[in-house]
Amino acid sequence: GEKAVGIKNVTFNELFFQGHFPDEPVMPGVLIVEAMAQAGGILILSTVDEPEKYSTYFLKIDKVKFKAKVVPGDTLLLKLEMTEALRRGIVSMYGQAFVGSRLVAEGELVAQVIKNK
């Protein structure tokens, strides 16, 4: 299927590191999933005409696994692949997040594409 790659530089000055956790900064897993979701949204919208007229909303996040910590100084490489093409406004993707060649998170994402009012 269609593929997309995104990059997120993880820096110490991001607000979530202040509380997650003091003296032991770790990027929250939910934000890694959100980064995959945003890269996936760009992938989906790259397949439609007039993408600026649409928004993507997540319907399901499944089989997510976290395999390693993501810490300040890491660069997240996000790889998304459509596993089912856009049909009736629904699309399925498989996402992976890497730091270097190391897989740090993966999961299945299902989104809905809706035309803006």
Tell me which of 14, 20, 72, 86 is the catalytic residue.
Answer: 20
Is 20 among the residues known to form the active site?
yes
Mean pLDDT for 10-20 is 94
Q: Please report the pLDDT score of residue 56 as a whole number.
A: 93
Whether this prediction's pTM lies above 0.75 is answered by: yes
Backbone angles phi, psi at 53, to 5 degrees: -90, 5
Mean pLDDT for 103-112 is 97
pLDDT digits (tens, 9 = 90+) for 43-96: 999 999 999 999 999 999 999 999 999 999 999 999 999 999 899 999 999 999
Query: DSSP label at 71?
Result: -
Question: Has residue 1 got a pLDDT over 90?
Answer: no
